[in-house]
Amino acid sequence: MAREFLEAGDPRLRLACEDPDAFFDHLERFEAGVDLPRNRVRQTWFWLYRGERMIGASRLRHRLIRFLQRDGGHIAYEIRPSERRKGYGTEILRLTLKEAAAIGVRRALLTTDPTNAASIGVIRNNGGTFGGNSVSLESGQLLNRYWIEIRADRG
């Protein structure tokens, strides 16, 4: 899956291709919440599978800090290019919101590029309501913010 992202010109999983050990060390450090870079918090990765085939990934941040309130929010996700527009983006966010509920998040923040129609579709399909714009402290990019209320019994 990581190779497919790279071949499509998306470098987000480059480390997984080039140095899998370093990639899994990185994941474990984030899961444990130790030795994190500035502006990062404890984070859990989830993998979406259809049978044996890995379809996508999501990341759940365990708390919001000032940086994430502007850029990143609670949850990020991606679906491999060959499996897009089949509802998997909507599904991975639905499942990750259940995990968020399990760690006590009651109101999830998501941020996205205003031109990312696919991500906005995923958020709206999960009940996201527009919460205004922000400007990323890192990139200076304008972002849309959305809130999703999470019921404790979310199924």
Ligand X SMILES: CC(C)(COP(=O)(O)OP(=O)(O)OC[C@H]1O[C@@H](n2cnc3c(N)ncnc32)[C@H](O)[C@@H]1OP(=O)(O)O)[C@@H](O)C(=O)NCCC(=O)NCCS
Footprint of ligand X on this chain (CB under 6 A)?
76-79, 84-90, 112, 116-119, 121-122, 125
In the complex, least distance from residue 88 CB atom to ligand X, rounded to whole angstroms = 4
Residue placing its CB nearer to ligand X in the complex, 123 or 150: 123
In the complex, least distance from residue 33 CB atom to ligand X, rounded to whole angstroms = 20
- Asked if residues 13 and 5 have their Cβ atoms less than 8 Å apart, the reply is yes
For 31, list phi and psi in degrees, rounded to 5: -65, -40
**What is the C-alpha separation between 69 and 51, in angstroms, rounded?**
35
Residue placing its CB nearer to ligand X in the complex, 34 or 115: 115
Residue placing its CB nearer to ligand X in the complex, 58 or 150: 58
In the complex, least distance from residue 71 CB atom to ligand X, rounded to whole angstroms = 11
Residue 140 backbone zone (phi > 0: left; psi -120 to 50: alpha; other: beta): left
**What is the C-alpha separation between 111 and 123, in angstroms, rounded?**
9
